[in-house]
Structures are given as C-alpha cells and as structure tokens.
Chains A and B, each alone.
Chain A
C-alpha cells in the first residue's frame, strides 16, 4: 500500500464510503416509515433537477445542482402526495407515475441540450465514475499533510464529506422527533411535533445525500445504500440505535469490499480490467442483505402480520 494506493484508490474509497454512509443514515428512517422506495424515486428525480439547474445557470456550479436536485425532490414528493390524495391513488402507483415521468423528462432535456462541454450524461448519472476520481497531485501518504497536494483533491470529496456531516448532524439533532414520528405519528403530533415538516426534512436530507453521492457514484449506489444496509441492519437488532450503527457498518463494508473487488477481483480471476465499482458496491450490499435475510437473528417479526401492517 504505497504511493499508487494514495493516488488511485484512497479518494475513490473515501468517496464511496462517505456516499454509502450519507445514504444509509436517512435510509434507516425511510425503511421504518415504509417509505423505502422514496429513496428510489429521489435518486431518479435528481437527474431532471440537475439538468434544469444546469440549463438555468449554464454552469455545473455544485450549489445550483444541489438546489435543483433538492427542488426536484420536493416537487416529486408534493406531486406523489397530491396525486394519491386527490385521485385516491395508492401511493406506490402515484410514485411510479411521478418518478418515471420526471426521469424521462430529465433524459430528454439532457439529450436535447448541449452538455458536451460538461460532465453530464445519462450513463454517468446511472453509475457514476468512481474510478476516475483520482488524486493526481499526491505522491504518497505524506501528501495528506501537504497543503499543495491537498488543494488538488477532487472537489467531489469535499462535497460528499460536507453532505455526510450535514446529514449526520441532522440525524443526531432530530433523532427523538424522528423516532417518535415514525413509531407513533398521532402521539408525536399531539406533542406538538410538526410531523409533516419533519417528513419533508427527511426527504430533503435524502435528496442532499442522493445529489452529493450521485455526482460521484451514480444513482444505483444511492438506491442500494438507501435500502440494503438499513434493511440488513434491521435483521440484526431490535433497537433503533443499534440498527443505525449496524447499517453504518454494513454501508462501510459494502463500499470498501465493493471497491476492492471491482478493482482487484478481475485481476485475481486472471483478467486485467477493473469492473464498475458502483455496480460492485451495490452487489456486495445485496449479498450482505441476502446473508442477513437467511441468518440474521431478528429476521422475523414478533408481531403478527395484521398488527405490523396496521399502519397503512
């Protein structure tokens, strides 16, 4: 593990890990609120949000992108809510209408506008380009203390680190209201907790994670990390704090193992080209979920089915 590792692998590994953590944190609450697919919807509508922001500002300014994606997430959630209320349509179907239509619009806008000058295309949006985020200025581990080399770090790293930090603070500060509103919404409302605003806040946090991660790793990792680590963690424990801790562990494990397997796996198998790191991270998270579904100590519910589905 020498200079090569620092130049080629350190930054992608960090970005992959931070992206996984940033998505898994809100993913825990989305899972418990039976809104796991909101993560799926958000990661799809990030694309139109970014494209529209780009068309308005004609730059790839990251704040504009963040605002565009955040706005798209809010629009999507509002539309889903509006359609399912007004038309009395099941929320899952309303979600299917909204995110596919918005994604289709984003793809067409992207194809019709001239984005050749910037790093924006559909394939990139789907599976990112984690491997390309190398640290050219680095010469070895010593570069970590060299201000000049540090200035040459890919900007994606700072962005995802900031997003992960922001989401960690959001989760820490609003832990109690989030837990209460998820477990017993009526009681939380009677206590004066603005549960609707809180739910929207969670969606925005998820959108922030999605857009920061999307930039570096594409939307497959985003969906996989929203759902797989929290779902696997739910099989391991019956306490919320422990579940979140397990999910973070699984997220980090998926990111590191996925990246290593994508980079070195083919070489071990006699090939010579790496495969998609984003795809491999999602695959590893799926393998972990599969194992916990088979052997996790808490994989089955204590509550009878009627009781646990009574929320809906």
Chain B
C-alpha cells in the first residue's frame, strides 16, 4: 500500500466503498472485560440485504461484538460504522433485540407498552402516544402473532412469547438494520418458526439482519452469510464459503469431532 493512501487512511478521509455502503462495518475492534480480551482486533463487513449469523462457541465474544458495535460496552480500540456513518448519527437505522435474560421481566408494564418503547425516538420525551402509534404497535404484534396479548402483563409471558414481544418492539423501530442477540435461545419450535419467518420477510423488504446464533445445524437453512468468531474473527462470507471444515475446526477447536463437522458442513451447503 502506498504512503499517500496510508496517510489518507489515518486522517479518516479514506473509507473503502465496501465499508461505506455496508450496514455494519467493524474495524480492529477489541473489547476487554478486566484484563482478558473478549474479542480481539475483529474486522468484519456485513453485506447489505444479507441475513448474517455470528457464530462461535460459548465465550467467543458474539454478544460482546454486537454490544460493542452498538456502544453498549466500551471498546479498548477499534470502531464500527453504520452505513458509513458513526453510530451516533445512525441510531434510527438500527433495531436491537437484546438477550431475553438481560431484562427485568417483573417490571410493571404491559406488552403494548414494551412495543411502544420501540417508537421512543420518534415520540421523544413528551409527545403523547396517539392512536396511530397504538395501531402501528398492534400491527407489529400481529406480525409476530401476539396481537391478542397486547394488554397482557409481561411477567405472564412464556419465554417464546417474550422473544416475540422483543421482535415486535424492534419492528416498531422501523429500522433498516436488525441486530438480534440469540433470538432462538430457549424458545419453543413454534416461536422459532414465527421469528425466522418475520426475519425472512424483513430480508425480502431489503433490510439487513444480523443474528448472534449458536445452533450450527440451522445456519444453512436460516442465513445467507456467516461470521465465525472465537475472540478473533476466523472467517466471514456467504455461508457456503465461510463454513468449511477448516474454519469450523479453527473456531470450535477440538470441541467438534471431524465427522460432526463434515456432517454439518454438508447440511449447511
């Protein structure tokens, strides 16, 4: 690389075309809890209109990667851009679905109030909630099959129903990039089907979906792209390319037998 280009890069003027158009581009991101990196020097570029899975073993830093990209946990070094702009200018373009276990389900509120939280940026501090907002909230609940639960107390929901409410809240944000943290963890089969149907419909609308995912057997069926992560990024790209015996072995180490990997690999492709 020439010196001129290098200098330009340091001044921040130089942004590759790829990163500029990407819904989520991460450069050199390192995050630590205490003295141990959770992720180290991760670069990745999410393709526009893709459904991308972030996979890796437990403790590989999958959730941390999402949280750092959203500014929820501080990075030691590195940065993330959303459609080529810094995060602070792109909040409206992102919808985030945290892990279910991260919130207080005993909080005194109803399902529809949670979905309305997704509209908080357009409602601001004091603008009243109008009928059109409620109608939109019900529409979002309908998309996840929860329209009859609008006035239900959130503490009374099953795990799968909680996940659907979270998805409805993300839909209410009207974003173009959806970041989901383990949306299929601990949910029933019906919910898994409903959630993936909604995500696929989002993709059909031209939106981009990124999921932290842990079930290797469904990657090929659910996602177009995959990022393999284990503290460092091991591979990224279309599922068939990123998902090889080598990359899987490098991600999961001895934890997966070779035969198992080959089986998964075949199914994925």
Q: Residues of A contacting B71 with CB < 8 Å?
A: 189-190
Interface membership of B135, Cβ < 8 A? no
Q: Mark A240-272, 1 if CB is under 8 A from B, else 0.
A: 101100000000000000000000000000000
Q: Residues of A contacting B155 with CB < 8 Å?
A: 238, 301-303, 308
Task: Select from chain B the residue with minimum beta-carbon distance to A192.
Answer: B91
B85-125 residues at the A interface, CB under 8 angstroms: 88, 91, 94, 96, 98, 101-110, 113-114, 117, 120-121, 123, 125
Q: Give which listed residue, A174, A183, A189, A238, contacts B103 with CB less than 8 A.
A: A183
The distance from the CB of B26 to the nearest CB of chain A, in whole angstroms, is 16
Q: Mark B106-150, 1 if CB is under 8 A from A, else 0.
A: 111110011001001101011000000000000000000000000
The answer to whether B104 and A183 have CB atoms under 8 Å apart is yes
A181-203 residues at the B interface, CB under 8 angstroms: 182-187, 189-193
Q: Residues of A contacting B232 with CB < 8 Å?
A: none
Interface membership of B70, Cβ < 8 A? yes
| A201 vs B185: C-alpha distance when bound (angstroms) | 35
Question: Do A311 and B103 form a contact, CB below 8 Å, given A186-B72, A191-B120?
Answer: yes
The answer to whether A190 and B94 have CB atoms under 8 Å apart is yes
Interface membership of A177, Cβ < 8 A? yes
The answer to whether A190 and B70 have CB atoms under 8 Å apart is yes
Interface membership of A179, Cβ < 8 A? yes
Give the secondary structure class of A's interface: helix
Question: How many A residues, CB 8 Å from partner?
Answer: 34
Task: Select from chain A the residue with minimum beta-carbon distance to B71.
Answer: A189
Interface membership of B77, Cβ < 8 A? no
The answer to whether B106 and A186 have CB atoms under 8 Å apart is no
Interface membership of A32, Cβ < 8 A? yes
Task: Select from chain A the residue with minimum beta-carbon distance to B181.
Answer: A186
The answer to whether B104 and A176 have CB atoms under 8 Å apart is no
| A67 vs B196: C-alpha distance when bound (angstroms) | 54
Give the secondary structure class of B's interface: mixed
Interface membership of A173, Cβ < 8 A? yes
A24-61 residues at the B interface, CB under 8 angstroms: 32
Q: Residues of A contacting B113 with CB < 8 Å?
A: 239-240
A255-306 residues at the B interface, CB under 8 angstroms: 301-303
The answer to whether A176 and B120 have CB atoms under 8 Å apart is yes
Q: Give which listed residue, A177, A191, A243, A307, contacts B101 with CB less than 8 A.
A: A307
| A199 vs B99: C-alpha distance when bound (angstroms) | 22
| A235 vs B110: C-alpha distance when bound (angstroms) | 16
The answer to whether A184 and B125 have CB atoms under 8 Å apart is no
Interface membership of A75, Cβ < 8 A? no
Interface membership of A310, Cβ < 8 A? yes
| A187 vs B101: C-alpha distance when bound (angstroms) | 13
| A192 vs B70: C-alpha distance when bound (angstroms) | 9
Q: Give which listed residue, B109, B125, B169, contacts A177 with CB less than 8 A.
A: B125
Task: Select from chain A the residue with minimum beta-carbon distance to B117.
Answer: A180
The answer to whether A173 and B104 have CB atoms under 8 Å apart is no
Q: Residues of A contacting B121 with CB < 8 Å?
A: 191-192
Contacts A183-B104, A189-B70, A190-B72 given; 8 further ones with Cβ under 8 A? A32-B104, A177-B125, A179-B117, A180-B120, A184-B117, A239-B110, A303-B106, A310-B104
Residues of A with Cβ closer than 8 Å to B? 32, 172-177, 179-180, 182-187, 189-193, 234, 237-240, 242-243, 301-303, 307-308, 310-311
